[in-house]
Structure 1
Amino acid sequence: MERKMLVATVSLVVASAAHGQSSVTLFGVIDEGLMIQSNARTTAATAATPGIGSRRVFLDSIAGQLGSRWGLRGVEDLGGGTKAVVMLESGVNLNSGALGQAGLLFGRQAYVGFSNDHYGTVTFGRQYESMVTYFATMIAAGQFATGFYAQAADVNNVNASQRVNNAVKYASPNLNGLTFGGTYSLGGVPGSLGRNSIYSAGVNYARGPIVLAAAYLFVHQPNTALFSNSGLASGLLSPGGSQVAAANTIWGGYATAATYQTFAVGSIYKIGDVGIGVNYSNTQFRDLQSPSSGLSISALGPQGTAIFNVGELNAVWHVTPAFQLGAAYTYAHGSQVSRSALRSFGGATYNSATLGADYFLSKATDVYVVGIIQKAHGTDSTGNPAVANIANLTPSSNDRQAVMRIGLRVKF
């Protein structure tokens, strides 16, 4: 009996070895930065008094060039150019030891799927949607300016503030510089296939000196399906307030939308060692004060559709293989939505600019500095005078805000 078991075991091992090889890779990034913020609001403005704010100095490891994380990447060769793939990736707050993404163990990504050299990759789980996959490197925040330069508090999700739960994703192979794909997130609500569902698609073409990209994202019930890094998404738990929306004044007042959509187009043209990029996005929060949002609604809140138009011009100069400089200017305008009986909402503009420098000490380690300024004007999504609100920061108490980050990044 033992001999038969031994023969069977050996045969299984040999068959596995002949069929393919598997590997698991531990990887990660530690991205720590000293932050100097010019104004962090400590008291909100009222009708009688202006808001109060003060300078803030702190450490951050979440919203740097890449954001600190660790993960496991698994691949098994199944033969014929096909592989099984696995990804588990966890965000880390270096300064407290806490998990990122609202405390989820693998909040950045967690998926399994198949990859084929000729037909592309299909994966299932928590993932980046296709707006991020095909467009993130077109904006300054995805090149050098850190997550703090995400456009208008990442109103278009290009900088990956949100991942997508319960997602099926397809990504094409590289076809002479052309890549494309799509993502669909199942809402998971009994009796309603569309509720809390998400779909997105994108395309990117990089050939010679030019890069072109376009992407689209549509979300039903965005407050519960997208505007949270926690398990609230996709209707698996009781709906609740959006963590991300509540944290910003630029578009946080529009979390009651029934649907959300964004479309982006952009290009980068390289002239020698300099890459010059331009991009545009249009984002719409439709049917505000919708009962389907899972939030308390009010007849005195913003009504109708809120639209954000965002344009950016950026440039990156690779001075040497180890040293680069970057600069960008971003203009964001939110439309005025229909007025309630007592106040108006929207109509604000946000002008932002950034400068950055990055020096690579080795292939895995670099030091960098980034400065960002923002000026706001008009009325914001909460119906109050617009204040500057740089992404991932506490809003300013007035219409101006600046921040500097001195960072150290190590990849492994």
Structure 2
Amino acid sequence: MNKILTGLIISAIAVPAMAQNSVTLYGVIDEGFDYTNNVGGSKVYELQSGYAQGSRWGLKGSEDLGGGIKAVFQLENGFNVNNGRLGQGGLMFGRQAYVGIASDQFGTVTLGRQYDSLVDYLAQTTANGNWAGYLFSHPYDNDNTDNTFRVNNTIKYASPSLAGFQFGGTYSFSNDTNFANNRQYSVGMQYQTGGLLLAAAYLQANNPSATAGGAINNGGDENFLGKRLQVVGAGVNYTFGSATLGFAYTNTYVTQPVSSGYVGAITPPGGATLSSLRFNNFEVNAKYQFTPALYVGAMYTYTRTNFDATSGKAHPNYQSAGLMADYNLSKRTDVYVQGAYQHVGGDKTGTVLDVAYVPGADNVSSTENQFVARVALRHKF
């Protein structure tokens, strides 16, 4: 009896001590079949990895340092299921890699390769940044709500929840003798109460993707290559019963843009120079949970663009729409179907921006219209 009592006491002491320190292995495998109706004038059928969620595996953990303070870390690797290659331009932990200190009272400070405040706060109010993924992104993911880039060399602060209000920010060093050459900074906030979520964020990057060692790496992370990238936006989600309705607005301004990571060089005709691009994105989205296992979601985005070149100004516009259904086979495995459509209208620019491109499509369309359909299997562990 004494031995049994002693064993129970030791177990009671040991279990809480072990619970203070943890390491978790996790991941997502998302693989599916895509059909695109027009890629350079031809249809394309292909297997593609990581659309509703990027395929990944990672390690995250914490160590209790006492006094409500703990050390935290996360290492997350992106990969392509089709061929096993690394994602994010071949980086080992291209999705996330950071270490930091977390306090229940004062918040969390982390150092490394991380998400910016647009992703942390605002993206959750969009369809692509919440439940739909890649195909439902705004044109060229111009506002980074679908994580086209992460930010290197980054110090991030995230506050604790204060009566439903949270805020935070990032600063990413250029790691260059020119202090501002390829640096980034962002701030964001959110307020959540009951079924209401409000969020807003701002980001600025100087000479994004201009250097390999800066805040935005031109090997695996490129939204726009230009002199300056500024994004500001706000969004709201409201959940009532089984339905969630959302609205998001973002404004992206790029000065002296040279190219897009999605469609390549943006070169005005006649030797003109492109001074700036501005995208105004207006998105409405909705999701309905028919049963615990099944939901259906839809999205519509109108994007008005200001194209300012030395030869003159133009105002092309983009209409994007998406529909998705997702069914859980178990707690960790689901199947989903998606369809996304884009139409380009308004003024012509004489550049690749005049033809449709659904983010995630194999390449640009030969016309102002493009449609992509996907059916996929996703497993989480």
Name the TM-score class by shorter chain: 0.7 to 0.9
1:54 alignment partner, one of 37, 42, 46: 42
CA positional deviation for 1:243: 6.6
8 A Cα contact 1:144 1:356, kept in partner: no
8 A Cα contact 2:266 2:351, kept in partner: no
State the SS of the aligned residue for 2:286.
strand
Measured in 2, the distance between the counterparts of 1:60 and 1:383 equals: 28
Query: Which consecutive unaligned segments of at least 5 residues does structure 2 have?
Result: 1-15, 260-264
Cα deviation code 1:311-333 (max 9, x no counterpart): 00100111112111101110111
TM, length-normalised to structure 2: 0.87
Q: Which runs of 4+ in 1 moved over 6 A?
A: 17-20, 240-243, 295-299
8 A Cα contact 1:165 1:234, kept in partner: yes
- Determine if the alignment matches structure 1 residue 274 to structure 2 residue 240: no
Alignment map for 1:372-391 (pairs within 5 Å):
372-378=340-346, 383-384=351-352, 386-391=354-359
Measured in 1, the distance between the counterparts of 2:357 and 2:275 equals: 24
1:211 alignment partner, one of 183, 190, 197: 197
1:319 alignment partner, one of 290, 297, 301: 290
State the SS of the aligned residue for 1:71.
strand
2:107 alignment partner, one of 104, 120, 140: 120
Q: Give the match for residue 3 of structure 1.
A: none
Measured in 2, the distance between the counterparts of 1:79 and 1:385 equals: 55
Measured in 2, the distance between the counterparts of 1:180 and 1:242 equals: 28
- Determine if the alignment matches structure 1 residue 130 to structure 2 residue 99: no
Query: Which consecutive unaligned segments of at least 5 residues does structure 1 have?
Result: 1-16, 42-52, 226-231, 246-251
Cα deviation code 1:284-305 (max 9, x no counterpart): 0124579xxxx99999343433
Measured in 2, the distance between the counterparts of 1:379 and 1:241 equals: 33
Cα deviation code 1:225-274 (max 9, x no counterpart): 6xxxxxx240799xx688745xxxxxx6xx3x311100011111223211
Q: Aligned pairs, how many? A: 360
8 A Cα contact 1:288 1:302, kept in partner: no
Cα deviation code 1:43-101 (max 9, x no counterpart): xxxxxxxxxx2111111113x21110001112111111111111110001000010011
Residues 233 and 315 of structure 1, relative CA distance in 2, 3 Å threshold: farther
Measured in 2, the distance between the counterparts of 1:214 and 1:236 equals: 22
Q: Percent identity?
A: 43
Q: Give the match for residue 22 of structure 1.
A: 21
Q: Give the match for residue 48 of structure 1.
A: none
CA positional deviation for 1:201: 0.6
Residues 289 and 141 of structure 1, relative CA distance in 2, 3 Å threshold: closer
Residues 362 and 384 of structure 1, relative CA distance in 2, 3 Å threshold: closer
- Determine if the alignment matches structure 1 residue 200 to structure 2 residue 168: no
- Aligned-partner residue type, residue 330 of structure 1: T
TM, length-normalised to structure 1: 0.81
CA positional deviation for 1:197: 1.2
Q: Give the match for residue 47 of structure 1.
A: none
- Determine if the alignment matches structure 1 residue 356 to structure 2 residue 342: no
Q: Give the match for residue 234 of structure 1.
A: 214
- Aligned-partner residue type, residue 100 of structure 2: G
CA positional deviation for 1:376: 0.8
Aligned-CA RMSD value: 2.7
State the SS of the aligned residue for 1:212.
strand
Q: Give the match for residue 11 of structure 1.
A: none
Q: Give the match for residue 328 of structure 1.
A: 299
State the SS of the aligned residue for 2:275.
coil
